[in-house]
Amino acid sequence: MVSHDYEIPNDPAVSPEDIDSNADLEGADLSEATLTGANLSEATLRNADITGAILVGADLTGATLSGADLTGADLYRGKLSDADLRDSDLSRGNLIDADLSGAALERSELVGADMYHANLSEATLVGADLSEVDLYRADLPEATLRNADLSGATLRKADLFESDLYRADLPEADLSRAGLSETNLRNASLFQANLRNADLVGANLRDANLSKADLAGSDISTANLTRSQLEDVLLWNTSLSGALVSRGTAFDAPGDRIEQLANDEETDSLSDPTDRYDAIARANNELKTVYSNNGLISQARKARSRERRARRREAKADDTLQGTVAWLGSLLSRLTTGYGVKLRPVIFVMMALFLGSAVVYSTNEMSLGESLYYSIVTFTTSPPGDPDPGLMRVVAGIETFLGTTMIVFLGYVLGAREQV
């Protein structure tokens, strides 16, 4: 487009011939102007009014636009690399396929802007307001978004590799399939964010809030989750391999959220109970492994118990002979050894066997002390002398056998619970 095709309806002091590279248009009124394809590289447009202007394909490389008002401007395929847009207002602007690489956008307003497939690599957006912005497939590798407001933003399939999102606000943002590997999300708020199938490998999520976030299918391998809040998150097919967690990392049991997904999901991926319980078991297995690898044995035991309980329910839902047998075996393990990690069921069974046998022995002309002594010796070794024929002999035989068995179980649990 040549210069006479430019239209500048609201500022008589600016003519089409003034639209050129290195132009000084500070404070100019370019609202509603038609500047398609204009070359304004290195131009000064500080505090200019560019609301509603058409700048499709315009070249604003290195231009100074600090404090400018570009509300509703059309910058489709605009070239704004290395531009100074600090404190500018780009709300509701069209920045589809725009090049903003290396641009300075500190404290800028981009509320509701359409930045589909925009290039923001190495851009600086500290304190910028990007709430409700569409950044679908946008390129933001190594961008600085510290303290930025991205609440409700669409960042689906966006590339945020090694970006700095320290203390960024991303509640309810759509980050599904986003590339967030090696990204700094420390102290960021991702409350109820959609992170389905997102790549968070090696990300720093220390002290981040991910409560109620959807992490189905996401890869959080080797990420730092120290003291992060993960209450009520969806952990379905989520990879936590090698993640760093601490005692202050708050994970809720994943079963309730997966059950909720099975009831609410429009697809039937978890409609089968066996698939649902398998998903719960796998999620708890991931938690068990990551807790164990970080030396958090108590949390690992709880996750293992939940995993085994889910497997037991899966076996029952299988509704076959093999499933029934597996269910009974799992139920027996729960009642006698607490799935191999809990002492309480073992001690309860041992005490019940010991005291119950002592009561039987006391009915055979033994004092309370004698019956307790007889029971403890029988429980740990064999009866001290031949028991009287009848009920006493039967009980002594059972106590000897089960006592030895429970002592073996106790040793197994004491060893296994420290090696979860």
Q: pLDDT digit string (tens) for 95-107?
A: 999 999 999 999 9
Alpha-carbon dihedral sign for residues 11, 13, 17, 22: negative
Q: Do 348 and 326 fall into the same domain?
A: no
Q: Note the pLDDT of residue 163.
A: 97
Q: Do 368 and 324 fall into the same domain?
A: no
Question: Is 53 within the bounds of a domain?
Answer: no
Report the range of poorest mean pLDDT among 69-73, 210-214, 262-266: 262-266
CA distances from 321 to 105, 225, 313, 327 (A): 65, 42, 14, 10
Position 42 pLDDT exceeds 90: yes
Task: Say how far residue 239 (Cα) sits from the centre of its chain.
Answer: 10
Q: Note the pLDDT of residue 1.
A: 43
Q: Do 274 and 331 fall into the same domain?
A: yes
Q: Do 323 and 359 fall into the same domain?
A: no
Amino acid letter, 246: S
- Is 389 or 87 the better-scoring residue by pLDDT? 87
Query: What integer is the mean pLDDT of 13-34?
Result: 95
Q: Do 371 and 299 fall into the same domain?
A: no
Query: How many domains does the chain fold into?
Result: 2
Phi-psi region of 241 (alpha: psi -120 to 50; beta: other; left: phi over 0): beta
Residue 122 structure tokens: 């190495």
Position 16 pLDDT exceeds 90: yes
Question: Is 305 within the bounds of a domain?
Answer: yes
The vertex-177 CA angle with 172 and 182, nearest 5°, equals 90
Q: Do 331 and 373 fall into the same domain?
A: no
- The radius of gyration of the chain from alpha carbons, rounded to an integer in Å, stands at 33
Question: Is 259 within the bounds of a domain?
Answer: yes
Q: Cβ distance 116 to 140 under 8 Å?
A: no
Residue 287: domain span:
255-336
CA distances from 50 to 23, 64, 78, 133, 338 (A): 15, 13, 14, 20, 70
In percent, how much of the chain has pLDDT > 70?
A: 98
Question: Is 329 within the bounds of a domain?
Answer: yes
Q: Which residue among 336, 367, 402 closes a domain?
A: 336
Q: Note the pLDDT of residue 342.
A: 86
Return the top range by mean pLDDT from 117-121, 258-262, 369-373, 414-418.
117-121
Report the range of poorest mean pLDDT among 52-61, 183-192, 362-371: 362-371
Q: Do 372 and 402 fall into the same domain?
A: yes
Residue 324 structure tokens: 């029934």
Q: Cβ distance 185 to 207 under 8 Å?
A: no
Question: Is 332 within the bounds of a domain?
Answer: yes
CA distance 19 to 13: 12
Q: Which residue among 283, 302, 336 closes a domain?
A: 336
pLDDT band, very low/low/confident/very high, at 271 (cuts 50, 70, 90): confident
Q: Cβ distance 195 to 217 under 8 Å?
A: no
Q: Which helix (H) or strand (E) holds 250?
A: strand 250-251
Q: Which residue among 317, 336, 355 closes a domain?
A: 336
Residue 390 structure tokens: 């009848």
Question: Is 26 within the bounds of a domain?
Answer: no
CA distance 27 to 46: 6
Q: Note the pLDDT of residue 267.
A: 60
Query: What integer is the mean pLDDT of 356-371?
Result: 90
CA distance 193 to 67: 31
Amino acid letter, 347: I
* Number of neighbours of residue 299 by Cβ within 10 angstroms: 20
Report the range of poorest mean pLDDT among 212-221, 281-290, 376-385: 376-385
3-class SS shares of the chain: helix, strand, coil, % to 5: 35, 10, 55
Which letter does DSSP use for residue 252 in this model?
P
Query: What integer is the mean pLDDT of 32-47?
Result: 97
Q: Do 327 and 268 fall into the same domain?
A: yes
Question: Is 118 within the bounds of a domain?
Answer: no
Residue listed under structure tokens 């991931």: 286
Question: Is 79 within the bounds of a domain?
Answer: no
Query: What integer is the mean pLDDT of 260-279?
Result: 83
Q: Note the pLDDT of residue 337.
A: 86
* Number of neighbours of residue 272 by Cβ within 10 angstroms: 12
Report the range of poorest mean pLDDT among 286-290, 306-310, 322-326: 322-326
> What mean pLDDT, rounded, does the chain reach?
93
Q: Note the pLDDT of residue 341.
A: 85
Q: Note the pLDDT of residue 12.
A: 94
Position 3 pLDDT exceeds 70: no
Q: Do 373 and 301 fall into the same domain?
A: no
Q: Cβ distance 413 to 389 under 8 Å?
A: no
Q: Note the pLDDT of residue 334.
A: 86
